[in-house]
Structure 1
Amino acid sequence: MAEKIMIWAQTNNGTIGNELKIPWHQKKDVQFFKAQTTGQTILMGRNTMASFHGRALPNRLNLVLSHQTDLTMPAGFVLVHSLAEAEKMADARGEKLLIIGGSVVYQTLMADADELLVTYLDTDFVGDTVMDPVDKTIWQGEVIAHDLADDENDFDFEIVRFTRR
């Protein structure tokens, strides 16, 4: 089965979004996200899809997970009803399955993930979408990148790859 990798960025207090937007500018994280997801199958929930304003991410199979059978998909998005269905599609393409949000999708599928890629931004934001802390009894983290704030990155950050213990 396709390797299942969750990827997100969050603040110190766990915020990952506010009003269907990412409330910061972090160019290096965007570049990391693009490098990890381009050429792969990505899976998201309806709200994450809505945050793209009808524009699928290029060079990726954009899957939307929903139990609704009559959900209309904008061009470039494909509706799936289960993780198994998404995995089959990624497998058929010989790709990894990158789970890109939102928080309900992360919480629902966390037990099925093989790896987590988390960008931690050294700041706090009040947002309407928050992640629970990664359970360190299940996941072991390794810092794979870090840098300081600059003209293109609002905050100091580090990227941590978590693998199952």
Structure 2
Amino acid sequence: MLAYVWAEDESQLIGKDDQLPWRLPVDVKFFKDVTMRGDVVMGRSTYETIPNRPLKDRRNIVLTYQDDYDAPGAIVVHSKDEILKLHEDSSEDFYIIGGATLFELFKDEVEELYRTVIHDTFDGDTYFPGDFDYSKFERVKYWSGVVDDKNKYPHTFEVWKRV
């Protein structure tokens, strides 16, 4: 199974200066709970924003167009086809975690979506693809997250499956 895992604000913003523009620990936990079920796939820029990379206890796959790129502890690939071949040869689920280029690249192949929506707007420079066709998916789960001292923004979690 090939899935996306991401958080966005009300305007589909997903990043600012290669970072999340908000702090929401409960979403970090959701992300970890989902992605611990398989391998994580990301672009080079996303990989470089992860402190103490690679993500622990998951196979990390990094897509880059730089031929000599080195990502210690991760598998480096240079094309969509290489990722699809790894996926075909694996018994693991693949979770695409960003960035926007990978979300655009795999929109015809993705089977499940794990989306956190932060019900606020932020300043940033990177957006989830605006032309993503949700009509090809059915929302199968939806729940509100708890707002508290550590999680200050109203938010919802959603799980979608391709129909």
Common fold: TM-score over 0.5: yes
What whole-Å deviation, never above 9, does each CA across 1:22-49 have from its counterpart, x for those lacking one? 1111111111110111252110001101
Identity among equivalent positions (%) equals 29
TM-score, with normalisation over the residues of structure 1?
0.88
Question: CA 1:54–1:77 in 2, change beyond 3 Å: closer, same or farther?
Answer: farther
Distance in 1, matches of 2:107 and 2:60, equals 19
Specify the alignment match of 1:48 in structure 2.
46
- Of 154-163 and 63-72, deviating more is 63-72
Preserved CA contact (<8 Å) 1:25 1:153: yes
Question: CA 1:31–1:93 in 2, change beyond 3 Å: closer, same or farther?
Answer: same
SS in 2 for 1:85: helix
Specify the alignment match of 1:135 in structure 2.
133
Distance in 2, matches of 1:110 and 1:90, equals 15
Preserved CA contact (<8 Å) 2:103 2:129: no
Preserved CA contact (<8 Å) 1:40 1:90: no
Specify the alignment match of 2:5 in structure 1.
7
Specify the alignment match of 1:121 in structure 2.
118
Distance in 1, matches of 2:101 and 2:111, equals 18
Question: Which runs of 5 or more residues in structure 1 are unaligned?
Answer: none
Asked if 1:79 is matched to 2:85, the reply is no
Distance in 2, matches of 1:19 and 1:106, equals 18
What whole-Å deviation, never above 9, does each CA across 1:96-116 have from its counterpart, x for those lacking one? 100000001101111110111
TM-score, with normalisation over the residues of structure 2?
0.89
CA apart distance, 1:127: 0.7
What whole-Å deviation, never above 9, does each CA across 1:69-98 have from its counterpart, x for those lacking one? 22122x212201234433444555521100
Letter matched to residue 60 of structure 2: N
- Of 87-96 and 130-139, deviating more is 87-96
Preserved CA contact (<8 Å) 2:4 2:97: yes
Asked if 1:110 is matched to 2:107, the reply is yes
Letter matched to residue 96 of structure 2: I
Matches within 5 A, 1:55-94: 55-73=53-71, 75-90=72-87, 92=89, 94=91
Preserved CA contact (<8 Å) 1:143 1:158: no
Preserved CA contact (<8 Å) 1:63 1:80: yes
SS in 2 for 1:25: coil
Specify the alignment match of 1:95 in structure 2.
92
